[in-house]
């Protein structure tokens, strides 16, 4: 029996600043998630492939300044941008990825070009940018990715934690320093509204997974990295098996979290492996990776996953994760908190 097509997306996970959040600001995030879900849902409803649906959803997430990918990406310690993305087709196991680019408007489109038109899987830096140009993708000035809110975030982190990349500071860490997790960050800029998930304690990656009417699955992941990261650092988002994985025989997965830990656990592939070799269901496999395995090495974050039967799961071990899913013929469902 063919599955009911479905798409799921995420926009990062982390600690909540719910008490400081206006209903209006929270609604902005939910509206953005729902709008992007509807776009991906429309691709599937028109008979489009899972691959096309996740590409379109991640492209829109990259264009939305609320999320840390594309326009609205965070800054490195040098005040620059380095963007990463990956994509995988579950029907063929073809995949493509790019890392450390600063002028490709939509990194996910470059990753797809690598997958479809190159004999390779992964390009980085200048080589990735040259390939994107050759493929006719839109090239922008690096300033396109900058927003004032992200610049203020970098300056604030450099004032408070000059030697640290903001990677794994959850709400409890704030409380341990004597600052309630619900309070605004000291020195935060007046007039810059807080985010539902604290921007300084958020693992900012975006992603999408989908299954289409033919039972094919696909996944895509994109990120601006982590605030104040060392130049040249690459996390899990562009790594096939860590931040992105798709195989029709098992599932499609996109992750968000402490990238180094997701790399060490090969988190995305581990979900698929548990299904293939251990007979776990999608829900069991994803739950085990997020709630049992990653916490052993202080891994924080979450993932979204679908299987070829149309099952969906969106587990996370942080206080919140921007997330949602939409089945063809049904209203999109978007959430932030537990």
Cite the active site residues.
Answer: 205
Q: Which of 335, 334, 253, 262 is nearest to 295 (CA)?
A: 262
Q: What contacts 214, CB < 8 A, 6 or more positions away?
A: 2, 49
281 labelled binding-site residue: no
Backbone angles phi, psi at 44, to 5 degrees: -70, -40
236 labelled binding-site residue: yes
Q: Which of 11, 26, 49 is nearest to 196 (CA)?
A: 26
253 labelled binding-site residue: no
* CA 28/CA 97 separation, integer angstroms: 30
Q: Which of 177, 234, 203, 220 is nearest to 85 (CA)?
A: 220
* CA 237/CA 254 separation, integer angstroms: 8
Number of H helices, E strands in the chain: 9, 13
76 labelled binding-site residue: no
241 labelled binding-site residue: no
* CA 68/CA 189 separation, integer angstroms: 19
259 labelled binding-site residue: yes
318 labelled binding-site residue: no
Q: Which of 199, 318, 333, 213 is nearest to 258 (CA)?
A: 318
First and final C-alpha spacing in the chain: 33
If you ran DSSP here, which 8-state letter would residue 259 be given? H
47 labelled binding-site residue: no
SS3 of residue 187 by DSSP: coil
3-state secondary structure 286-335: HHHHHHHHHHHHCCCEEEEEECCCCCEECCECCCEEEEEEEECCCCCEEE
Region of residue 190 (left: phi > 0; alpha: psi -120 to 50; beta: else): beta
Binding-site residues for substrate sit at 233-236, 256-259
Binding-site residues sit at 233-236, 256-259
């Amino acid at each position: 029996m063919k599955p009911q097509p479905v798409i799921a997306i995420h926009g990062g996970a982390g600690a909540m600043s719910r008490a400081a959040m206006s209903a209006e600001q929270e609604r902005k995030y939910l509206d953005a998630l729902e709008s992007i879900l509807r776009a991906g849902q429309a691709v599937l409803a028109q008979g489009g492939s899972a691959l096309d649906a996740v590409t379109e959803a991640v492209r829109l997430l990259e264009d939305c300044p609320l999320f840390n990918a594309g326009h609205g990406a965070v800054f490195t310690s040098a005040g620059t941008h380095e963007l990463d993305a990956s994509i995988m087709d579950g029907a063929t196991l073809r995949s493509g990825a790019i890392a450390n680019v600063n002028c490709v408007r939509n990194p996910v489109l470059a990753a797809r070009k690598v997958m479809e038109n190159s004999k390779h899987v992964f390009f980085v830096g200048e080589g990735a940018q040259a390939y994107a140009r050759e493929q006719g993708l839109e090239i922008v000035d690096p300033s396109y990715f900058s927003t004032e809110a992200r610049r203020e975030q970098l300056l604030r982190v450099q004032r408070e934690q000059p030697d640290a990349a903001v990677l794994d500071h959850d709400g409890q860490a704030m409380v341990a320093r004597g600052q309630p997790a619900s309070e605004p960050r000291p020195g935060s800029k007046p007039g810059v509204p807080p985010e539902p998930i604290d921007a300084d304690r958020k693992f900012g990656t975006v992603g999408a997974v989908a299954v289409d009417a033919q039972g094919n699955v696909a996944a895509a992941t994109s990120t601006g990295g982590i605030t104040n990261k060392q130049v040249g650092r690459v996390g899990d988002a562009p790594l096939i098996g860590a931040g992105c994985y798709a195989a029709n025989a098992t599932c499609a997965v996109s992750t968000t979290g402490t990238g180094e830990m997701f790399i060490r656990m090969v988190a995305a592939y581990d979900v698929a492996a548990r299904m293939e070799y251990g007979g776990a269901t999608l829900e069991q496999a994803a739950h085990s990776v997020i709630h049992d395995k990653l916490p052993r090495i202080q891994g924080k974050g979450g993932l979204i996953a679908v299987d070829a039967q149309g099952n969906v799961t969106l587990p996370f071990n942080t206080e919140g994760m921007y997330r949602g899913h939409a089945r063809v013929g049904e209203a999109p469902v978007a959430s932030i908190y537990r």
